[in-house]
Chains A and B, each alone.
Chain A
Amino acid sequence: MAADVYLNVAVGGILTGLVYGLMALGLSVIFGVVRVVNFAHGEMMSIAMYLAVLLFSGLHLDPLVMMAPIAAVLFVFGYVLQAGLINPFINRPEHSQFLLLVALAIIIVNTLLIIFGPDARSAQTSYAFDSFQWGALIVDATKLYAGVAAIAFALLLFSFFRFAPVGKAIRACADNYTGALVVGLDVKRLYALTFGIGAACVGAAGVMMTLIVDVTPMIGPAYTLLAFVIVITGGLGSMAGALLGGLLIGVTEAHAGLLFTPSAKSMFVFAILVLVLLFRPQGIVGKRST
């Protein structure tokens, strides 16, 4: 196959991977700090996607513009969810958390089905079919915008955790729970905040994802799984790891599809996961946890 095909696929894989990475970032933050196994992660993203579609079809507001408000809505959702429902489960065994979030996922998926119906929806913006061509390289416009937005959001998040006092407090909680308590941090509130931030991340990712894929009520679970794969591959608790993991998965998936039969490309993703779990469980970027 000609080289330009590989190039185009690689670029597409990178851009998609960035959006995957942003989605996984939310999970990394949640899992890394609050230690809750968020099995409703993909479902939360589908809520954001439906919001984007709704606002677009109803008020003709471009998803990229709506990214901030929708992320804010998801933030509130996440905060309330954590404070109200999930908090007692933080110290419970994994299977309890799992059941709680699976129940939540079932409720979300089917509520969306009832409200929006089963048909695929999308936000068909004016640039939905655009692509840029530079020589042999053809780049999907929507993917490019989404990828850039993902980087921007990730940088924003990164600086928040690095420089903002609240962000630093959250990192402290993650690094040393007892120490945080000793120092007098309101851990409960910080946990809720973190969950909210994670939800906001996934919300932003969802808005970007709306540009790339169509939303149906049932797409949540596949993305939840993908998010976990990326987070584990990249390294838990590491934001760079989540993005890198996303990139790796995005590119691998794309090339697996190109070189082998596309319907089996997920197998390679899982193969990577297995290899990472066995040989480098802390992930590419992660540090060995104590």
Chain B
Amino acid sequence: MTGKIADSSPDSRPGKSARVLEPLLQGVSRRTLALLGVLLAALLIAPWLVSDYLITVLIVILYLAFTGQAWNIMMGFAGQLSLGHAIYAGLGAYIAALLFARFGVAPWLGFLVVMPVAAACGAIIGFLAFRFGVAGVYFAILTIAFAEFARIGFDHLAIVNASAGLFLPVAQYAHNDLWHLRGDPTMFYYVILAATVIAFLFCRALLMSRVGYFWLAIREDEQAARATGVDTFRYKMSAVMISAAVTSFGGVFYAFFYNNLFPEQVFNISRSIEIILGPIIGGLGTLFGPILGAFVLTGLAETLNAAMAAFGFDLPGAKQVFYGICLLFVVIALPEGIWPWLARRIGVTERLR
């Protein structure tokens, strides 16, 4: 632990704007800022440099980075393993899509509706789990159960067309319509980039706040935290609800980018696993881990595809086998994730503890 809990408490500092910026920049070396700046710049100008195919790949990467960060709030910060996060993304996707398809409601307004619903869903799961003392693996299985419940439920829900799928009306892309999120991939790229950056800053702000410290305490040793008077129930609930609400935006994005939703795919457990692979591989509980993880995993998948194509190797399933082997290597060799190891190498430290 940093031992700085006392003076970093926002209540003891003057000035609201100072209060916002200082926690974000506190303890961040100039080198780190420079590297982050370079990365951001590269991502900003990417659409002008790369092919449309790569833009699509980057959109997938950023989507996973975004949802990974959201999940990381709950797991990496507060230590609650959720294996059913697809339910929040799915709810976000379906509600926003339905509002748009039926009533023409813009996705940004739709998100205002989605956010409390997702948070409420998280609250229910959290409440049930924490009040009844469900933790660890049992909690994880509980989240899977809820996601499966949603999947089967939506598969029979007539208002969203059940398993026949919900299709969003797709108009010709004469121009980009940011308000209705209709347009070409480049627009979506910037939207998800902005979302990822905002989520990154938001996570940083959370970590540096009171809530963040309490979360870390709960993650490290919940009993001890409770013993020192931390209301663990309240903070665990807030972690779940915040995580759920943020994830749901990813779902809204997904719905408007892909324009068709099937419960079987949207709430599938493989989606939940997809969301969590990035943060675990990248580095649980770190800020940059989920982002790095998303880049590594998707980059790995696409590189394997390209390599196999280059060798004329056309065997369905082979790519996934290599992918699995790579995952094995990473999890065995770098138990903390790639980012902590990489960070040490390039001289960047994330001051979390």
Chain A interface (Cβ within 8 Å of chain B)?
A: 37, 85, 88, 92, 94-96, 98-100, 102-107, 109-111, 113-114, 217, 221, 225, 228-229, 232, 261, 263-264, 266-267, 270-271, 273-274, 277-279, 281
Instruction: Tell me which residues across on chain B come within 8 A of A281, comparing CB atoms.
Output: 132-134, 138
Q: Which one of A100, A113, A225 contacts B148 once the chains associate, using CB atoms below 8 Å?
A: A225
Q: Is the CB of A273 within 8 A of B321?
A: no
Known contacts A92-B335, A99-B327: A266-B281 contact under CB 8 Å: no
Q: List residues 99-140 of chain B with CB under 8 A from any CB of chain A.
A: 128-129, 132-134, 136-138, 140
Instruction: Tell me which residues across on chain A come within 8 A of B335, comparing CB atoms.
Output: 92, 96
* B75 at interface by CB-CB < 8 Å: yes
Q: Is the CB of B152 within 8 A of A228?
A: no
Give CA–CA (A96, B337) in the complex, Å. Answer: 10
Known contacts A263-B156, A264-B152, A266-B152: A95-B323 contact under CB 8 Å: no
Nearest B residue (CB) for A260: B156
Between A and B, 19 residue pairs with Cβ closer than 8 Å are A94-B81, A95-B284, A99-B331, A100-B331, A100-B332, A102-B327, A104-B328, A105-B324, A106-B320, A107-B328, A114-B318, A225-B269, A228-B141, A229-B145, A264-B152, A277-B132, A277-B134, A279-B132, A281-B134
Known contacts A267-B152, A274-B145: A107-B128 contact under CB 8 Å: no
Q: Is the CB of B321 within 8 A of A107?
A: yes
Nearest-Cβ distance from residue B233 to partner chain A, whole angstroms: 15
Give CA–CA (A277, B136) in the complex, Å. Answer: 12
Instruction: Tell me which residues across on chain B come within 8 A of A114, comparing CB atoms.
Output: 315-318, 321
* B218 at interface by CB-CB < 8 Å: no
Nearest-Cβ distance from residue B170 to partner chain A, whole angstroms: 29
Instruction: Tell me which residues across on chain A come within 8 A of B81, comparing CB atoms.
Output: 94-95, 98
Given contacts A228-B144, A232-B138, 12 further A-B contacts (CB under 8 A): A96-B280, A102-B327, A104-B328, A109-B320, A110-B317, A111-B317, A113-B317, A114-B317, A263-B155, A267-B153, A270-B146, A281-B134
Nearest-Cβ distance from residue B136 to partner chain A, whole angstroms: 6
Q: Which one of B83, B141, B280, B323 contacts A106 once the chains associate, using CB atoms below 8 Å?
A: B323
Q: Is the CB of B327 within 8 A of A106?
A: yes
Instruction: Tell me which residues across on chain B come within 8 A of A111, comparing CB atoms.
Output: 317, 321
Instruction: Tell me which residues across on chain A come within 8 A of B292, comparing CB atoms.
Output: none
Give CA–CA (A239, B156) in the complex, Å. Answer: 36
Q: Which one of B129, B141, B152, B328 contacts A273 once the chains associate, using CB atoms below 8 Å?
A: B141
Q: Is the CB of B132 within 8 A of A278?
A: yes
Give CA–CA (A94, B332) in the complex, Å. Answer: 14
Q: Which one of A88, A113, A261, A270 contacts B145 once the chains associate, using CB atoms below 8 Å?
A: A270
Q: Is the CB of A106 within 8 A of B324?
A: yes
* B341 at interface by CB-CB < 8 Å: no
Nearest B residue (CB) for A279: B132
Nearest-Cβ distance from residue A107 to partner chain B, whole angstroms: 4
Nearest B residue (CB) for A273: B145
Known contacts A94-B140, A113-B317, A225-B269: A103-B327 contact under CB 8 Å: yes
Q: Is the CB of A37 within 8 A of B152?
A: no
Q: Is the CB of B149 within 8 A of A270?
A: yes
Give CA–CA (A98, B138) in the complex, Å. Answer: 13
Instruction: Tell me which residues across on chain B come within 8 A of A263, comparing CB atoms.
Output: 152, 155-156
Nearest-Cβ distance from residue A207 to partner chain B, whole angstroms: 24
Nearest-Cβ distance from residue B225 to partner chain A, whole angstroms: 17
Instruction: Tell me which residues across on chain B come within 8 A of A98, comparing CB atoms.
Output: 81, 83, 140, 280
Nearest B residue (CB) for A107: B324
Give CA–CA (A261, B123) in the complex, Å. Answer: 29
Instruction: Tell me which residues across on chain B come within 8 A of A271, comparing CB atoms.
Output: 149
Listed from nearest, the 9 A-B pairs whose CB atoms lie closest are: A106-B324, A103-B327, A107-B324, A113-B317, A110-B317, A110-B320, A270-B145, A278-B132, A103-B328
Give CA–CA (A110, B325) in the complex, Å. Answer: 11
* B273 at interface by CB-CB < 8 Å: yes
Give CA–CA (A270, B152) in the complex, Å. Answer: 10
Give CA–CA (A73, B144) in the complex, Å. Answer: 31
* B64 at interface by CB-CB < 8 Å: no
Instruction: Tell me which residues across on chain B come within 8 A of A96, comparing CB atoms.
Output: 280, 331, 335
Give CA–CA (A113, B315) in the complex, Å. Answer: 10
* B142 at interface by CB-CB < 8 Å: yes
Give CA–CA (A103, B326) in the complex, Å. Answer: 8
Nearest-Cβ distance from residue A96 to partner chain B, whole angstroms: 6
